[in-house]
Homo-oligomer: A and B are copies of this chain.
Amino acid sequence: MHETIQKTTMVIEDPLAHLPVSSIGEFRKGSTIYGPESPPSSLYVVLAGKVKICRAAHDGQQVVLDVYQTDEFFGESSLVGGGANEMAVSLENARVMSWSATEIREIVLKRPDLGYALLQLAVQRSLEFGNRIESFSLDNIERRLIAALLHFASKLGTSSDDGGREMIAFTHELLSQYVGTSREIVTHYMNYFRRKGCLNYSRKSIVVFEDALRNLVALELSSKAA
């Protein structure tokens, strides 16, 4: 109850409302925007396209932290000197606007409402990462993959005619790098979810039927409890 009251009265500010126009960069699909050898020195916002933020491990493996789209920020680690091994890669042709960490500091000192808006954004992001840590600790791979599909469908998808959420066709490899498992295991579960009517996918898009996917987890829980 308490939480609901707080959430409705809490104003989440939009940093974009407080930022001046800055330089624009264009990146073809698959281009590296920064990293892993050169960590970000700027804060970016996506103007068009989608950008994957990941960590590059020493043996060439990648861990996907998230995927950001139009009006979302990335590269905030530049404000503390850059995250180790962090990479930003465009998943589609992308346009981004950027401000150097020094510029951001100067603008924040003149426009404190930008500082507060960016602070809320950074806190929100660490809450989402906290959810991931919770899921890694408690959930098996199937449930982590379901959580990933629901996350991306809600965030990146649009309502489709058949009552699902249609979104960009992520590769099974990208999903495996988000969930922390192998591509083969993701393919196994994606086929299973499709057979159960929880999703459809083609080369072009994935359609996620959110309720069916949630029910799948609930059914498994109740069959275990029975």
Contact = CB atoms under 8 A, between A and B. Distances in A.
Given A108-B119, A129-B133, A124 B2 contact: no
Contacts of A180: 133, 136-138
A188 interface: no
A86 B131 CA distance: 10
**What is the count of identical protomers in the complex?**
2
Interface residues of A, number: 53
A6 interface: yes
Nearest to A137: B180
Interface string A1-29: 01100110010100000000000000000
Interface of A: 2-3, 6-7, 10, 12, 37-39, 41, 55, 57, 61, 63, 65, 76-77, 79-84, 86, 101, 105, 108-113, 115-116, 118-120, 122-127, 129-130, 132-134, 136-138, 177, 180
